[in-house]
Amino acid sequence: MTRTFHGDSYVDNYEWFRDATNPELLAHLEAENAWTQERTEHLEGLREQITAEISSRTRQTDISIAHREGDWWYYQRTWEGRQYPVLYRLPDRDGSRPDVNALGGEKDGPSGEQVVWDGNELAEGSEFFALSDFAPAPDGKLGAMGVDFTGDEHFALRIFDIQTGHVVDDAVSGLGYGLVWTTDGSHVVYSRVDEAWRTWQIWLHEVGTPAEKDRLLYQEDDDRFDVIHTASRDGQWIVVQSVSRTTSEVRLFSAAHPLAAPLVVCHRRDGLEYSVEPAGDHLIIVHNANVPDFEVATAPLVTSTPDEWITRLAPQPGERINEVQAFRDFAVVAMRSAGRTQLRVLPRQPEEAHPETARRGGRFLEPHEREVWGEPVIISSEEMATIALEPAPYWASTDVVYTVESLLTPPTQIAYTVASGESTVLKTLDVPNYDRSAYTQQEVWVEVTDGTQVPMTLAYRSDVTADGTNPGYMYGYGSYEVSNDPYFRPALISLLQRGVVVAWTHVRGGGEMGRAWYDNGKLLHKCNTFTDFVDCAAWLEENAWVAPGRLAAEGGSAGGLLMGAVANIAPERFRAILAGVPFVDALTTILMPDMPLTVGEWEEWGNPIESAEVYQYMKSYSPVENVKHCEYPAILATTSLNDIRVSYVEPTKWVQVLRATTTNDEIERPILEKIEMVAGHAGTSGRYNRWQNRAFELAWLLDQIGAA
């Protein structure tokens, strides 16, 4: 096939891969898997060893902390030998968080525990299993979930009696994400996706009726926008948010009367991004109308404009406000300060404590004008750690529950009680056979080509020194303003214990350093993402942390684009590259508006159909179109046949072009592809399957960098 745009023609010899019904394609994919298995057969023992290591560092029979919804506390258990978790619940007795560790886990046992759903039973007989959501009805009698048995992220609705497990309604299929109950528990609100896998419709389904009787609540006709719907924490609203990469619009549907006309909080205007938290008699809004790094404001429960919103928290230089969660007695703001994650708790102060706020200038003030907040309490964490809010759907919560973790620190859940100011550790993940003191982490700043200082987090065994001999591993992402924050994974210890220096990069295009950090790594600045990563790789070698020829790199999805781009820019810097579900045929995909998710992506990458400048810029970095005739790193590309986010076509093309163009020795520096035939963007399901797949990938990397 020849693709021609803006006077430029590109010959694509592998576009035939797109026909998933072609028997030759399936034969080709099976042959790729067979070849990869053959080329990695010698690593079987190492794979088994790494799988055993991951298993040994995982408390396989474990229990999560509990969170409250309605009159019940919900929590998950895992059991040794079982692939999937089991969701339990316990009735609330006195308003205090129960000690679920003291319970036995018996189904409907004397403690009052109930099994809500068992992932192992749901997945029985299926090669793949995933849930979109689980939502209990307001009275706690019924549960709603979306189930997927292929990995294509098209879910079937299942409504069941929680007490008996009996399915009472499975009439609706083809759902997207998100399930919300109406106030009386008679209806469920769900989403649908179009042929391009864009969430574009919100529907109302009455329990026990055919799908043909469902009512359309909202349809988003602008292809740039996706629709997200959630339940407000105060129980009054169904929040429907239309979002593009640069603009948003929020509608509030009554949870009691969903067919009534919705409230549009603020009509869309290009460039205005905002999110809404209903807070009883007013709204709390995070928006960018005044500053690019967003601010927190309050607003009335009517259609309004940013000019009418009252600023409650504005960012200082170096800060970025991400979200707010509203509760009855306080609000909590998740944000970044100097690149680090942080929470700020804003206690609500009762109106009677501030009688002067009820009137001003001879008039009574609106509720959102009267709102008085106490001084914010800052919750921060150790350097190089990530702090994140835990799900908290209960409106009358009295504490803020959050998790702290780093590359080396297992996640710890902490409850901060707003009224008393006390903090309580609820749970620290128990990691058997792991000595935290045996490893060290540090933050470094790399001056890249254009003078920007780029942060990078290093972790290594404490006896490892910068002597120029070490193997190294880099991980990167750098797109969609997603911050590549450090997180703990037991599998990473298998690298560290073998002397590998781990470098977690925070390149531009992510959100680590605020909105400008993102803006300088998107559209016509996208190449900054790639050169930042290459400069970080050079820094590791120049500062003797990693030996020449012993550096591996990994990235997935848009991070897979990063992997393909840096392989072309600086193939000599890397010994091996692991690219997961990689977006490596970027220009071809973005030129196809009928492909899943493409139109909405134009605000991230640019529209190469309309703009010759964007076309040429994307052509200059799209990995498939820029492979060089020289020696490349060894490459392992992984993908899934049912991936609707990044098609299997992209890595499958890339592998063919690499083999046809590079000068790699197929024994010393193989170019391989591993395809999951029943899975989606996230790969296989089930924790033991995931461990085995991760062991496969890490064994290959370790072998390539001489650290096996």
Paired strand residues for 189: 180, 204
| H/E segment holding residue 25 | helix 23-39
3-state secondary structure of 647: coil
Task: Please tell me which residue in 557, 622, 647, 685 is annotated as part of the active site.
Answer: 557
Tokens of 246: 């640069």
Tokens of 436: 């935290």
3-state secondary structure of 251: strand
C-alpha to C-alpha distance for 440 and 438, rounded to whole angstroms? 7
Do 318 and 343 form a contact (C-beta atoms < 8 A)? no
Residue 459's CB: how many other CB atoms inside 10 A? 24
CA neighbours closer than 13 Å in the CB half-sphere of residue 491: 18
Length of the chain: 708
Paired strand residues for 86: 77, 118
Which residues are CB-contacts of 50 (< 8 A; sequence separation ≥ 6)? 491, 494, 694, 695, 698, 699
Task: Please tell me which residue in 148, 226, 535, 643 is annotated as part of the active site.
Answer: 643
Amino acid at 571: P
Of 296, 256, 303, 254, nearest to 277 by C-alpha is: 296
C-alpha to C-alpha distance for 332 and 520, rounded to whole angstroms? 29
C-alpha to C-alpha distance for 285 and 321, rounded to whole angstroms? 11
- Tell me if residue 557 is catalytic: yes
C-alpha to C-alpha distance for 23 and 27, rounded to whole angstroms? 6
Do 635 and 567 form a contact (C-beta atoms < 8 A)? yes
C-alpha to C-alpha distance for 593 and 651, rounded to whole angstroms? 20
Task: Please tell me which residue in 232, 494, 681, 685 is annotated as part of the active site.
Answer: 681
Do 604 and 522 form a contact (C-beta atoms < 8 A)? yes
- Tell me if residue 337 is catalytic: no
- Tell me if residue 643 is catalytic: yes
Distance of CA 337 to the CA centre of its chain: 21
Residue 232's CB: how many other CB atoms inside 10 A? 22
Residue 105's CB: how many other CB atoms inside 10 A? 15
Which residues are CB-contacts of 170 (< 8 A; sequence separation ≥ 6)? 156, 157, 158, 159
Tokens of 234: 């105060």
Q: Which residue has the tokens 């190089």?
A: 384
| H/E segment holding residue 559 | helix 558-569
C-alpha to C-alpha distance for 625 and 628, rounded to whole angstroms? 9
C-alpha to C-alpha distance for 203 and 190, rounded to whole angstroms? 5
C-alpha to C-alpha distance for 111 and 126, rounded to whole angstroms? 32
End-to-end CA distance of the chain: 43
C-alpha to C-alpha distance for 117 and 294, rounded to whole angstroms? 39
Which spans in 94-197 are helix H?
119-123
- 620: exposed, middle or buried (Cβ count in 10 Å: 0-12, 13-18, 19+): middle
Amino acid at 549: G
Catalytically active residues are 557, 643, 681
